[in-house]
Amino acid sequence: MVNETQQPCSASSSSRSDGSSSGSESSKDNSRCSTPVLDADRHERLREKMRRRQDAGDKWFSLEFFPPRTANAAVNLISRFDRMGAGGPLFIDVTWHPAGDPGSDKETSSMIIANTAVNYCGLETILHMTCCNQTKDDITGHLQKAKRLGLKNIMALRGDPSGEEWEEEVDGFNYAVDLVKHIRNEFDDYFDICVAGYPKGHPEAESYEADLRHLKEKVFAGADFIITQLFFRPETFLKFMKDCQAIGITCPIIPGIFPIQGYHSLRQLVKLSKLEVPQEIKDVIEPIKDNDAAIRNYGVELAVSMCRQLLDSGMVHGLHFYTLNREVATTEVLKRLGIWREDPRRPLPWAVSAHPKRRVEDVRPIFWASRPKSYIYRTQEWDDFPNGRWGNSSSPAFGELKDYYLFYLKSKSPREELLKMWGEELTSEESVFEVFTCYITGEPNRNGYKVTCMPWNDDPLATETNLLKDQLERVNRRGILTINSQPNINGKPSTDPIVGWGPSGGYVFQKAYLEFFTSSEIVTALLKVLKKYELRVNYHIVNVKGQNITNAPDLQPNAVTWGIFPGREIIQPTVVDPVSFLSWKDEAFALWIEQWAKLYEEESPSRMIIQYIHDNYYLVNLVDNDFPLENCLWQVVEDTFELLN
């Protein structure tokens, strides 16, 4: 949004200006919902969220990113989405780069990055779209694709004309207002539309006043809110806002904040945006221009000070940050302003997707707990969530996960690093046990490297799992290779910092769960031990060929996480479901080969060890149904080891 061109005064203004809701996607349902509404955020469109936050007097922020150039950079950006998403932005937006094939299916296209943010990172997302030099059909195609992918918000921009001298095209898109009208014509009220505002007036505008009139036109054509170009002094924005209001613009106007992060990025930006840096800023920066840290510190100070003045004015409720895809400066500003969410409240125990189709999703199998993006990918063709109840017999099949290099599932670590963590050379099954043990303990492996990820888990151990660390270490060392577990919880407050989720005032519960790979020898002993626990422990044991041993009644799901909240139905967001376990089994076994074995040469001993495990081990899950008592699963495992001795 750095370089947006103004629109001339044309086209009659529409009477629609207040962003009021209508149409099928609008508002939350007035009738009863088929699933409990735990989190109003998931059910509202962006303009309503904004209004609600404003009505409640909450301050909020949003973050702007641009699409990266390489697939590796895209993987990193997605990790950044996850991390910065935890701070609680109201939305993020992804810019549109006409030169980067922005509507394509490339990993680095604007469309796919925005898709990933919505679907896989669960972030409310605005996709930018520029219209000049494009046909109506192109634009309609992009919009249809965006809608199909679950994108609900468009930032309508003109974009840079390609030629030297710009000329209006007959019947084409010449101005952002044309795009706004086109979206409303073709897609009715489906999208929330954002447009750009210029606190100093657009550099190409005849005058500041003329530019304000253009802005009003965009709003009256159907835009829901305005994000401004960056500016350097708070009074610039506040004057602009008053001027907008004076000519009848009543929708939200969000100031665009640019924390200065370096001398060169500032210069480049200034050149592109044709803005002038005030003398008092130049005076500070020029002397320290080679000291990046100093400039960034100054930039943070400046941004904090400006944001405080904006918020204190009472006219500003939200702040929009031009992050330049960087994390540190923006996060620092937000933390100092106190609007970074330090204690992220989870609406459900797992990260929710922001796709409108998944608004009512409130239950998932526990198996994908560490691979939520894979779960979303494999259920993306589902028509509804959670399919009535979880266990609906007409539940559609899980999609195949053939492409293990889908970029949003790609390991953040390159092959060399994985080899350092998981072993350049494996000599026995025990060396595999060691890798699992090091992952659990956080201790360096025999070559001095910490194991920070595993094929089944791209992140370090969850805080909750840390509660089980000692026991997990003990059993992994002996060949019970754990990939998923949770402790039992008997009614902790929903605000508990480690295991809490959902609205406050509730109570959360869990049944103890343990999932692991292990040898057939251990399985034989385990099955004998499980007889003693027949009424208490449910188990599913399966090998890669699908041989399946279970004591679960019929094919019913077992709820293993649930919450009781004021004025709500019971929520049971995690289940052990026998049917989906078989889909998960395929994925869990395949990860041995795809992520681990393939690091090694074919026919190499290392690869053959992993292949052996893949072919011969069993995947086991255990649930202790007696959640109010002490977890018995460790005793089950101890009994098994004892039997083997």
Chain contacts with a copy of itself (rule: CB under 8 A):
28-29, 31-37, 388-393, 395, 490-491, 505, 507, 509, 535-536, 538, 552-559, 562, 564-570, 572, 575, 579, 623, 625-628
Q: Closest CB to a copy of itself among 334 and 369?
A: 369
| Side-by-side strand order, sheet with 364-365 | 364-365, 571-576, 558-564, 507-510, 489-493
Parallel/antiparallel/unpaired status of strands 618-624 and 537-543: antiparallel
Whether residue 465 contacts residue 418, with contact meaning beta carbons closer than 8 Å, is answered with: no
Helix (H) or strand (E) holding 345: none
Q: Closest CB to a copy of itself among 29 and 105?
A: 29
| Spacing of C-alpha 519 from chain mean position | 36
Minimum Å distance from CB 390 to a copy of itself? 7
Q: Rg for the chain (alpha carbons), in Å?
A: 27
Q: Closest CB to a copy of itself among 475 and 529?
A: 529
Q: Closest CB to a copy of itself among 73 and 360?
A: 360
Buried b (16+ CB within 10 A) or exposed e, 352-363: bbbbbebbbbbb
Reading the block at residue 192, the tokens are: 């929330």
Of 332, 337, 382, nearest to 361 by C-alpha is 382
Whether residue 87 contacts residue 327, with contact meaning beta carbons closer than 8 Å, is answered with: no
Of 518, 507, 536, nearest to 475 by C-alpha is 518
Minimum Å distance from CB 566 to a copy of itself? 4
**Residue tagged active-site, from 4, 44, 48, 64:** 64
Angle formed at CA 241 by CA 237 and CA 242, multiple of 5 degrees: 120
Helix, strand, coil % (nearest 5) of the chain? 40, 15, 45
Minimum Å distance from CB 389 to a copy of itself? 6
Minimum Å distance from CB 28 to a copy of itself? 8
Minimum Å distance from CB 44 to a copy of itself? 12
At 383, give phi and psi (nearest 5°).
-80, -35
540 Rama class: left (phi>0) / alpha (psi -120 to 50) / beta: beta
Q: Closest CB to a copy of itself among 105 and 534?
A: 534
Of 192, 190, 248, 187, nearest to 217 by C-alpha is 248
Q: Closest CB to a copy of itself among 436 and 584?
A: 584
Q: Closest CB to a copy of itself among 390 and 408?
A: 390
Minimum Å distance from CB 370 to a copy of itself? 23
Minimum Å distance from CB 214 to a copy of itself? 41
Provide the 10 A C-beta neighbour count for residue 414. 11
Of 370, 366, 373, nearest to 390 by C-alpha is 366
Among this protein's residues, is 521 annotated catalytic? no
Residues catalogued as catalytic? 64
